[in-house]
Structure 1
Amino acid sequence: MIGNVGKKASAMANTIFYQYGLLVAIIGFLLGRAMILSELTPFVLPYLAAVYLLKRERAGIAALSLVAGALLSYHGQIVFVLAAIITFVLVQKVVTKFITKRTSFLPYTVFIASMMTRLGLVYAMEGLVTNYALMMATVEAGLSFILTMIFMQSVPLITAKKIQQPLKNEEIVCLIILLASVMTGTIGWMMYDMTIEHILARYLVLLFAFVGGAAIGSTVGVVTGLILSLASVASLYQMSLLAFAGLLGGLLKEGKRTGVALGLLVGTLLIGLYSEGSAEVSVTLMESMAAILIFFLTPKDLITRLARFIPGTVEHSKEQQQYVRKIRDLTAGRVEQFSTLFQTLSSSFQAFPQTANEEEDERETDYFLSNVTEKTCQTCFKKERCWVQNFSKTYDSMQKIMTETKEHGEIKNQMLLSEWKKLCIKPEKVIQTIASEHEYYQVNQKLKRQVLESRKLVADQLLGVSRVMGDFAKEIQKEKQAHHYQEEQMLDALRSVGLEIGHIDIYSLEKGNIEIEMSISADNGHGQSEKVIAPLLSDIVNETVVVKQEEPDFYPNGYSHVSFNSIKQFVVETGVAHVAKGGAWVSGDCYSTIELGSGKYAIAISDGMGNGERAHLESNETLQLLQKILQSGIEETIAIKSVNSVLSLRSTDEIFSTLDLAMIDLQDATTKFLKIGSIPSFIKRGSNVTKVEANNLPIGMLQEFDVDVVSEQLKAGDLLIMMSDGIYDAPKHVENKEMWMKRVINELKTDDPQEVADLLLEKIIRSEQGSINDDMTVIVAKVKRNTPKWAAIPLYKAPSFTRKKAQRAASFS
């Protein structure tokens, strides 16, 4: 109930202040009363000009409130205010007709109107314009010129119902100048010997010091005190008091409102005793206490809303994070929409349901027999007897002939042929027509199969893209968790041993997926990050951490940017040996070894059909396509199908490539083998050698094929030997090549990958008396436990590290 009343009251206040222009009228009234240097009113025209430019429908209210303020003020400048408003309107009408850039020219319009009005009034009252009057008119017009540019930035900040963007430092200063100018309109207002402008000025300093800290608080104090001292020379000491109070209050903001209030009291006592003496300090203290009372009565919601627009505040950071989160969620949502779109397109490209096959076959048979009868029976004089009196018998017989022709190419069933000759007077012509029509039928069926296969291939590719985009959307929605406490603890721990660390950002503390970034001082290439910092971090997080990337001189101060990640459980060491046919320069075999970003290691061999440059181009293009698709994150089987479709549709030449792909997971050493037209691979574990094979046609031969995936679990120390057919098929004198290759591999006494590859190639060439009858390539990969170069370095009194579940911050205890 109370909440509803509060919401209604807030809505009513917003309506009155913003929709009906009450706030514009209040500010105009106080600026109409404001005066500086005892005779100048430079606030009137800038405020009217800013409202006229930004909210023209409120210009009338602003003009009336300015006149009302001048009429009820102490300075007696009502004539100048009225004349200045009228002059500004006339000059603006003239400027509008001849100047297109009205916004840029507006300060000049204000300057001209102020100068003309002041000099005109002086001349009308005194009959001449003295040098002093000219100087003061110029000062007033110059201040009006400057205040116009300031008010153009600050008026929207207090007249707009909602501010969308955080304030810049210049906008904050402009806002303070406007508020301080408004306060000068309260000069002369007293309450129990307390000056209202002093109370409001100190309240303003308290508010901004509490929200923005020492820098903002002291800035507000200086600007507010300066404008108040210009309005009243007796308030000159207020600039020192407000600036000092803003600085102290900002420094003590960690003590909440009490700390900021204490800063104002200390500043009041020190400056008050120094400026006015002990006799007058009681009034100054009362003014400060009144400001503190208003400050404590200020709703927390108002302070929070103000803090959201001040850079550097916690509320501003949360607002920025919320904005970034909104943009991230919006981007992820759009990516998910595209993922859903591709999934829908994939479903639409799927083949028709199997239930419709029987109807489709019947329809195809009807079309086939219709074409046959059109060429034969339509001109026969006995067609009525065959197709009207004996329809079922004629149709069944022709269907049997069609089936017999389809299966055997001719009619081998003599009984069927005999019955047909009894039934039809032109049996040979009908049989020839069926055979001829059957060729077109087969071509049509082949085209239909190709269309269906293409549809299936496109569907698989679209589904693969959909999955990649879906995973990408999930990655986008992952945000950096707040690890402020852990970052501070880690920073203190590293600095305590003498390391110069700029800052630390912890992105993930998940087991096996730690991500830490930091800035460190340049070490002139001594490897400080790898040799010292990574081992120290490993001790802190109880997990081996290594340097992922280091960028020297990344920051303007010369510091380097270093990224640390959890170490992979396994590493792969490879060795390659290859030679072209006949010892030529160009080999038709191509190979690739690459560590993918997903924590997998890919080894591939492609053998183009034939030898030489053409085969090399084919196999190289196959691997290049495969590598790019795998790096995009698409699953291996879909990647191979995509490469196959590109190669099969690219050219009508019968140029094919084999592909032998092994994908090793570096976390658990599980390996997937995808063999497309390639020969077997071998795994050597100790004295045991096992064969890995799968049956698939070469890539590019068919548009649609099933990829046979073989999975194997590798262990540390295993050797994986992959080879092209030039190695496997080279020994012509060997009948059982599998057993021969196993024996050769088992007899090798070394486990160094490069030595194994070299010895295998040498053994094969020697077995053929030095002749190289085909391109030969062998890749040997050794799976090893990932042992870091540097052990963990224990820290003295290092903070113990604990990981907690999601939704709860992990902490150093």
Structure 2
Amino acid sequence: MELILSPSRMKKIRYQFIFYITLISFLISIVHIYSTSLLFALPFFYVCFMCGYQSIIGYAIGLGIGVIFLDVPYDVFVISAISFVILEFCLLFQSMKSRYVPYLLTLIGGIYYAYIQIDLLSTLLLTILTYINTMIFTSLTPIFMHGEAELLTHERMKALTVVILICTMGLLPYSQMSTMILIRIFILIMIYHECLDDLLPGLFYSAMLMLLMDLGYKDDILSFLLPLFFFYMIPCHKKSTIVSLYFVSHLILPFFLDFQYTYHGFIVVASGLIFFILPMRLHKPVLSSSYQEMTFKQQLSKQVDSFCHLFEQMTALFTKAPAPNRSLEYVGYIYEDMCQNCSSQTTCFHKKYGPHRLVKLMNKGLKESYSEADEDFIHQYCLNPEKYLALVQQYRKDYRKIRRVQEEYKVMKNDLYHQFSLLNHVFHQFSHQLEIGHIEEKHIYEHMEGYHFQLAHLKKYYESQSVYYLEIGLYDMTREEIENEFIPILEAYLNETLDIEVIKTPMHQLGYTYLVLKHHTRYFIQYGVSQCAKESIACGDSYTIFSMNENDYFALSDGMGQGQKASDDSSLTLDVMKQLITNGISLNDTIQSVNALLKIKNRNDMFTTVDMIEINLVNGVTTFMKYGACPTYILRDHEIIEVESKTLPMGIISPLETMIQKQTLKENDMIFMVSDGFSGHFREFLKDNEYLIGDDHPKDIAHLFMTLANDEQRNDDMTIMVLKICKQ
């Protein structure tokens, strides 16, 4: 990629590219079928045409070498020049799309074959082969443009096999034995890299072309095709086993062809030994990485789903159920102590008509004090009223203690129920993200192809966590179409802005467009923080600053009270929020999780305020989240914008209503976040001292304002955070 490589490295790559183009054009120019190489040269010319003028120059040099030194017919050079003029004419008037060019070149080739008076059947065959070769060669355009192994899909691997074998066939008229050795070495290399399925189609097609060159190659073709079936039956991965099976597989050849032991034996032994001593690194199989990635994601997704199921079961343990009536249990205790042996027991606890009012008053007395009428009724109808009242009063104390414990247990149970429900939701969200995955190359590719854009290449490069490049190869796209259609659709899909870094249309509408888009931040934040503690032990205010992707986060928390306890609560709050956000948990889930944690931890004894700002450094959109916090002030061109929210601190109620406000910030906007240690009239304080700000750094402004505030009063811990929006 041009933006990643150094200029000297890019220059070297260009020279190598021109050399390879020259070499390929020279080799295919000497491959003749029916005394012409046009069916190979014309398709390769179109690839060079799409790659640009440098490639065309390399192509012309290669043909020229063949014409001058090896008596290649100059007709191929002339037909290529005519095709160039026709395509340039189409460019000038923008009268043809690239998908129609193979038909145009096939027509030009067919006219030439008829002109040189080949018989009708041969003319038809060469015309069809010209079209097939054009489609094969053009599928490799991204490889020639970018030279990256990641672009080697199975289809392109098959096409590349055909091109390599055609280039090798150019040596057949000059050294048949050397050519056969080279073909066999290439076959062994493909077997070593586990590309046998990609090799065979190209090998069969090239074998057909060799037979069209000369039927005398039949035995040579059979000699390298027949042994391949052994490698389908016996998989081999090491060089030694491949070479051993390679030698053994040739024992069948004398039964099928006129086997010349000296000629064929030398070819087999030489090719096997050369392959064995060649230094090679085993690369990953074509397209295997996506399979491995998918397998890993499926395993991880199963683990997350099992956690989801676990938390669903744990949540079910804390589902809200009606609490049992414990007062009836204590009525049973009174019955055992007093009524069990009473002569009126059957009257008070009548099986048919239900309990007497005296029994109902027992239940009432456990929950509240008796009225005067209730006591009169007890004295009138109970045989032992003094013992009755004494037992009720005794068990009332126990019952109330148990009742308080039950109430606390109920509150804790509700909090745990909410917390487990929240964790269950977080795991479900994570599982859903795993199923969808990040928007990477294949997702972008599929989405843009859905809009009928012809993408030949797409690669994503990360420069940092929030800066990346998209390198794209396109067919049939003008600059206007890219700017007005392609990029807006891509930005809408990614929900991100993209800038054009490089756009090259070497052959314009008919050619291959090279495009590099950059996603990066447009803003950065200058900030300054100043704190002053009321107690020398610790400041009850805490703050944190961190980044996640393209967002910067600034948070301020005030623990209720002063000292170490307040400091611990506020720092814990911010630390947990930071960990959740940086691990991909949404803002709403983060807020609810921290709120539930504080509610369980503090048991309603202490609360914590939270004032958080999320600034998107790409578009300047800023999200304000406030819970019991002081207003935030935006200073823009001497105008003060107040952002406030009347909400409770965290740790009081659960669930907590999410309160979010959004503002789009501009360059040089300043944001002031303060804790409640500042006076309640910070707006007036800011207005009175605005003239002192000037062009100072936010750090100096924060220290200045803290000094001025200390001169007025200090009734609590004080923290001020000053932010300034700056453009990159």
Give the TM-score, by structure 1 length: 0.46
| Match status 1:673 vs 2:625 | yes
- Do the aligned partners of 1:726 and 1:777 also contact (CA within 8 Å) in 2? yes
SS of the aligned residue for 2:584 comes to coil
| Match status 1:631 vs 2:582 | yes
- Do the aligned partners of 2:543 and 2:574 also contact (CA within 8 Å) in 1? yes
Q: Could you say which residue in structure 1 is the equivalent of 2:721?
A: 779
The alpha carbon displacement at 1:428 in A equals 2.7
Matches of 1:780 and 1:290, distance apart in 2? 84
Q: Could you say which residue in structure 2 is the equivalent of 1:727?
A: 678
The alpha carbon displacement at 1:214 in A equals 8.6
The alpha carbon displacement at 1:779 in A equals 1.6
- Which stretch shows the higher mean deviation, 254-263 or 614-623? 254-263
Q: For 1:420-444, what per-residue CA distance to the aligned partner results, in whole angstroms no more than 9, with x for missing partners?
A: 4433323531441353233233234
Matches of 2:518 and 2:333, distance apart in 1? 71
Matches of 2:162 and 2:361, distance apart in 1? 99
Among 726, 732, 745, the alignment partner of 2:686 is: 745
| Match status 1:327 vs 2:295 | yes
SS of the aligned residue for 1:745 comes to helix
| Match status 1:288 vs 2:217 | yes
The alpha carbon displacement at 1:470 in A equals 1.7
Q: Could you say which residue in structure 1 is the equivalent of 2:661?
A: 712
Among 421, 432, 435, the alignment partner of 2:396 is: 435
Q: CA RMSD in A?
A: 5.7
Matches of 1:744 and 1:756, distance apart in 2? 13
Matches of 2:574 and 2:418, distance apart in 1? 20
Q: Which amino acid aligns with 2:291?
A: Y
- Do the aligned partners of 1:590 and 1:620 also contact (CA within 8 Å) in 2? yes
Cα 1:636–1:321 shift into 2, 3 Å: closer
Q: Which amino acid aligns with 1:577?
A: S
Alignment of 1:8-23 (within 5 A): none
Q: Which amino acid aligns with 1:778?
A: I
The alpha carbon displacement at 1:316 in A equals 4.9
- Do the aligned partners of 2:158 and 2:202 also contact (CA within 8 Å) in 1? no
Matches of 2:412 and 2:294, distance apart in 1? 44
- Do the aligned partners of 2:610 and 2:649 also contact (CA within 8 Å) in 1? no
Among 412, 422, 428, the alignment partner of 2:380 is: 422
Q: Which amino acid aligns with 1:659?
A: V
Alignment of 1:279-428 (within 5 A): 286-289=215-218, 316-318=285-287, 320-321=288-289, 323-324=291-292, 326-328=294-296, 330-331=298-299, 333-335=301-303, 337-338=305-306, 340-342=308-310, 344-345=312-313, 347-352=315-320, 357=322, 360=323, 363-378=325-340, 380-388=342-350, 391-403=355-367, 405=368, 410-411=369-370, 413-424=371-382, 425-426=385-386, 427-428=388-389
Q: Could you say which residue in structure 2 is the equivalent of 1:604?
A: 555
Matches of 2:406 and 2:443, distance apart in 1? 62
- Do the aligned partners of 2:468 and 2:520 also contact (CA within 8 Å) in 1? no
**How many aligned residue pairs are there?**
464
Cα 1:617–1:437 shift into 2, 3 Å: closer
Larger Rg: 1
Q: Identical aligned pairs, as a percentage?
A: 17
Alignment of 1:451-470 (within 5 A): 451-470=412-431
The alpha carbon displacement at 1:336 in A equals 5.1
Matches of 1:295 and 1:539, distance apart in 2? 51
Matches of 1:483 and 1:468, distance apart in 2? 22
Cα 1:445–1:345 shift into 2, 3 Å: same
Among 181, 184, 201, the alignment partner of 1:243 is: 181
Among 584, 590, 594, the alignment partner of 2:542 is: 590
- Do the aligned partners of 1:630 and 1:639 also contact (CA within 8 Å) in 2? yes
The alpha carbon displacement at 1:371 in A equals 3.5
Q: Which amino acid aligns with 1:714?
A: Q
Alignment of 1:399-798 (within 5 A): 399-403=363-367, 405=368, 410-411=369-370, 413-424=371-382, 425-426=385-386, 427-476=388-437, 480-481=441-442, 506-507=459-460, 515-516=468-469, 566-568=519-521, 572-581=525-534, 584=536, 586-597=538-549, 599-613=550-564, 615-643=566-594, 657-664=608-615, 667=619, 669=621, 671-675=623-627, 677-683=628-634, 687-697=639-649, 699=651, 705-717=654-666, 719-728=670-679, 737=680, 740-747=681-688, 748-749=690-691, 750=693, 753-754=698-699, 757-768=702-713, 772-782=714-724, 784=725, 787=727, 789=728
Q: Could you say which residue in structure 2 is the equivalent of 1:73?
A: none
Matches of 2:445 and 2:609, distance apart in 1? 53
Q: Which amino acid aligns with 1:639?
A: T
The alpha carbon displacement at 1:689 in A equals 4.0
Q: For 1:126-152, what per-residue CA distance to the aligned partner results, in whole angstroms no more than 9, with x for missing partners?
A: xxxxxxxxxxxxxxxxxxxxxxxxxxx
Q: For 1:592-637, what per-residue CA distance to the aligned partner results, in whole angstroms no more than 9, with x for missing partners?
A: 122223x443222223455455544443333222211221222335
- Do the aligned partners of 1:689 and 1:742 also contact (CA within 8 Å) in 2? no
Q: Could you say which residue in structure 1 is the equivalent of 2:133?
A: none
Matches of 1:698 and 1:460, distance apart in 2? 18
The alpha carbon displacement at 1:671 in A equals 1.9
- Which stretch shows the higher mean deviation, 474-483 or 242-251? 242-251
Matches of 2:554 and 2:338, distance apart in 1? 62
- Do the aligned partners of 2:441 and 2:460 also contact (CA within 8 Å) in 1? yes
Matches of 1:760 and 1:727, distance apart in 2? 10
SS of the aligned residue for 2:417 comes to helix
The alpha carbon displacement at 1:468 in A equals 4.3
The alpha carbon displacement at 1:714 in A equals 0.9
Matches of 2:469 and 2:484, distance apart in 1? 11
Q: Which amino acid aligns with 1:692?
A: E
- Do the aligned partners of 2:595 and 2:654 also contact (CA within 8 Å) in 1? no
The alpha carbon displacement at 1:290 in A equals 5.2
- Do the aligned partners of 2:180 and 2:220 also contact (CA within 8 Å) in 1? no
The alpha carbon displacement at 1:656 in A equals 5.7
Q: For 1:714-762, what per-residue CA distance to the aligned partner results, in whole angstroms no more than 9, with x for missing partners?
A: 122465432222224xxxxxxxx3xx33322344344875465345423
Matches of 1:693 and 1:741, distance apart in 2? 16
The alpha carbon displacement at 1:374 in A equals 3.5
SS of the aligned residue for 1:727 comes to coil
Instruction: Structure 2: state its 5+ residue gaps.
Output: 1-156, 191-198, 243-279, 447-456, 472-482, 492-496, 502-515
The alpha carbon displacement at 1:590 in A equals 1.6
- Do the aligned partners of 2:626 and 2:647 also contact (CA within 8 Å) in 1? no
The alpha carbon displacement at 1:580 in A equals 2.4
Q: Which amino acid aligns with 2:407?
A: K
Cα 1:443–1:751 shift into 2, 3 Å: farther
Matches of 1:306 and 1:315, distance apart in 2? 16
- Do the aligned partners of 1:587 and 1:613 also contact (CA within 8 Å) in 2? yes
Matches of 1:211 and 1:715, distance apart in 2? 52
Cα 1:673–1:246 shift into 2, 3 Å: same
Matches of 2:390 and 2:500, distance apart in 1? 82
SS of the aligned residue for 1:725 comes to coil
Matches of 1:376 and 1:265, distance apart in 2? 115
Q: Which amino acid aligns with 2:402?
A: Y
Matches of 1:593 and 1:377, distance apart in 2? 70
Q: Which amino acid aligns with 2:610?
A: L
Among 176, 198, 206, the alignment partner of 1:260 is: 206
